[in-house]
Amino acid sequence: MKIDITKIANVILYMLEKDVKHLNDRKVAILLFLMDFENQKKTGEKIFNEEYIKDKRNPEPVVIGEIFEIIANSEDLDEEDERLYIIQELLDYLDIEVLTKDKFIELKFIKMEEEFDKSLFSRKELNSIEAIIEKYGEDTARKVANATFKIQKVRDTALNEIII
């Protein structure tokens, strides 16, 4: 599975443009799940080509979750590591600030010159993205995470198993 990092970077740009509140790596990860889930429900296809695993607190994107973890911990990657290319492409679109809090590390996304490119998305994908941003844009990551557990498919999936 090859995630579409260009679409992910662009949807983060869109969230920044729309002034989504409490935007950090955790909220982005959960919103990506909700957008993919919504789009898959409507069209049978995911937007970002990501897999999501059920975690104790929220659905966790496999690849992008790992990418966020690498950035948060400033891990050094081998030049041949495919994840390095994913990180570099993400950083082509936006800057990421690593904030160290008392009990955790948070990633904050910062818009640079790049603008959101809606031509990357189909009309149905944009509808799914807009619906999720409209519904959860003001909420905290915790509130959005809690909302995912109201989804039957999430509740029915065993811990550490693939939801979608």
- Along the chain (164 residues), what's the average pLDDT of each consecutive run of 10 residues? 92 98 98 98 97 96 97 95 95 96 94 96 98 98 97 97 97
pTM, rounded to two decimals: 0.97
What does the pLDDT read at residue 33? 98
Structure-token pair, residue 140: 């905290």
Q: Answer whether 17's CB lies under 8 Å from 130's CB.
A: no
Rg (CA), the chain: 15
What does the pLDDT read at residue 1? 58
Cα first-last separation, the chain: 12
Nearest to 142 by CA among 26, 20, 38: 26
| Structure confidence by residue, pLDDT tens digits, 13-51 | 999 999 999 999 999 999 999 999 999 999 999 999 999
What does the pLDDT read at residue 84? 95
Nearest to 59 by CA among 50, 69, 67: 50
Range list of H helices, the chain: 5-17, 25-43, 62-72, 82-93, 123-136, 141-148, 152-156
Q: How many residues does the chain have?
A: 164
Q: Answer whether 32's CB lies under 8 Å from 11's CB.
A: yes
